[in-house]
Structure 1
């Protein structure tokens, strides 16, 4: 089973993208579009204040008739942020994401955000792990003849 640290290492860019609570939702959306990501950590200094996702935009801006250029991130972010540690497994992450209907999980080590994993990262990792197991079983079967 893969641990989160290995998943982070396999990502092409391990940067933690964030936005401030007082920044506009428009600025958050621009950053997300520029980086090709679906979520940003909302950082108040070194502390995680929340997370802002595409889902937050769709449900709390678009559907409520707000304007992204004047609405601050802190007004629509998700404040209760679940996170994982680098030593947790992909299975742990899938359980958390499934039970809480999340698509992104920050990775925190010693109180500091060190990365973000998505459901796509986990699916890619699980498929890779299953492919490896299948190859090993095939080699075992062929070798046993």
Structure 2
């Protein structure tokens, strides 16, 4: 299965945050939307990603004052992205190897979607169930 198929199912809507806001604003957004990470954009272009983990790490190291800081102090600036043509297996390998849970999907430099580890696990579980059912049918017909 390809990343584009996941986006077709779950949708291409992306909750993003414009660069220049505070860590507290992002924390509120993550909590309100019940999401784990948000891409950071500047003039519509992807410039980073910030996650719950980034915020927790900042709090642990610098204390509550970090909440008033610009998100650029905590966000990851070298963002790993994927395309809608990448396979789920490729994406799963990248997420595992790099220990990341959220990957923005881009096309021609534009942000067109977001894939989480939960999306990948859900697809893999569905594929595994379909394979198991096909094997049961094959065995039953033999």
TM-score by length of 1: 0.92
Question: Contact (CA 8 Å) 1:26, 1:69: kept in 2 or not?
Answer: yes
Provide the residue aligned with 1:131 in structure 2.
Answer: 129
How far off is 1:66 after superposition?
4.3
Aligned length: 142
How far off is 1:115 after superposition?
0.8
| CA shift in 2, pair 1:59/1:46, >3 Å | same
What are the equivalent positions in structure 2 for 1:44-123 lying under 5 Å apart? 44-123=42-121
Provide the residue aligned with 1:4 in structure 2.
Answer: 3
Q: 1:135 is paired with a residue of what secondary structure? A: helix
Provide the residue aligned with 2:16 in structure 1.
Answer: 18
Could you list the runs of 5+ residues in structure 1 that have no partner in the other structure?
Answer: none
2: CA distance, partners of 1:133 / 1:67: 51
2: CA distance, partners of 1:109 / 1:140: 40
2: CA distance, partners of 1:139 / 1:131: 12
Larger relative helix fraction: 2
1: CA distance, partners of 2:126 / 2:66: 39
1: CA distance, partners of 2:50 / 2:96: 19
Could you list the runs of 5+ residues in structure 2 that have no partner in the other structure?
Answer: none
| CA shift in 2, pair 1:59/1:69, >3 Å | closer
| CA shift in 2, pair 1:20/1:68, >3 Å | farther
